Amino acid sequence: MIMIVSDTHCYYDIVNKQIEFAEKNLGINITSVIHLGDFGLYSGQLRDFFISQRKQFHRPLYFIDGNHEDFRHLPKLVKKYKDYFTYLPRSTVHTFEGYRFLALGGASYMDSMITERESVITDQQINACLAIPPEDVDIIITHDCPTDIGVPNTPGMEHFGPTGFPRSDELAEHFRPKMWFFGHHHKWHCYSNNNIKYFGVSGVWKGFGLLDKNYDYKMISNKIEWDEATFVEKFLMRLRIIRPDSPDYK
């Protein structure tokens, strides 16, 4: 079964804890993990987890980018860690367990403090998606949510305007996918329109989604406590790249 998670923000070990929970407590065999961005692709944290601590994900993990990744070094980092996880570039289609997923990482612009330029979804990337025949895609996976599906703004962030990224309506119209999964907002969300089922996936420390055959999808709440912030994390907090459970962060 496919596990769907989002927003690890460098706390990679929480993915493994959720896999362990699903397999040991729920008796579910996880075959792969799809990660909806804000993975936390940063050299120092990756080196610490995968090289220094010699850890790896318990199951194959595939991720789209969010708005909190090291975009400047993304190509180099995904190549270096290709034996540990796989990056799904924007505007590309990938088949897992019979489902064809259209991957589109990134987010709409928020402000320069929390939105790196490269994280913003471009018109060119939307156009590249729209060049893909609709019959080639079953499910869309994005980091940010589509517009007009009722995802509430995080309190205190209303000044960024309504949630969702521009031209997402064109993707919905073109592909009419059976399902559309997204992260970024750190909350569960369900919405249905025009036979498209939209699912917001909470931050990984609050739970995960399970996608079985025949579009059977479940959301599992399982809160994981995390350890005291490390020196690197405290440094990132000072740069406003703060703990992902903060209401100021997404």
Chain residues that interact with Fe ion, rule: CB under 5 A = 38, 66-67, 184, 250
Q: Residue 66 or residue 146: which is nearer to Fe ion going by CB? A: 66
- For the CB of residue 103, give the shortest distance to Fe ion in the complex, in Å: 15
- For the CB of residue 134, give the shortest distance to Fe ion in the complex, in Å: 27
As a whole number of angstroms, the distance between CA 184 and CA 64 comes to 11
As a whole number of angstroms, the distance between CA 43 and CA 37 comes to 16
- For the CB of residue 170, give the shortest distance to Fe ion in the complex, in Å: 22
Q: Residue 99 or residue 249: which is nearer to Fe ion going by CB? A: 249
Q: What ranges in the chain are assigned the alpha helix state H?
A: 13-20, 43-46, 74-80, 123-130, 168-175, 231-238
Return the ∠ at Cα 123 (arms to 99 and 91), rounded to 5°: 20
Q: Residue 38 or residue 233: which is nearer to Fe ion going by CB? A: 38
- For the CB of residue 72, give the shortest distance to Fe ion in the complex, in Å: 18
Q: Residue with CB nearest Fe ion?
A: 184
- For the CB of residue 105, give the shortest distance to Fe ion in the complex, in Å: 10
Q: Residue 177 or residue 244: which is nearer to Fe ion going by CB? A: 244
Q: Residue 167 or residue 186: which is nearer to Fe ion going by CB? A: 186
CB 1, CB 69: distance < 8 Å: no
CB 7, CB 66: distance < 8 Å: yes
Residues with Cβ < 8 Å from 62, sequence gap 6 or more?
A: 32, 33, 34, 35, 85, 86, 87, 88, 94, 96
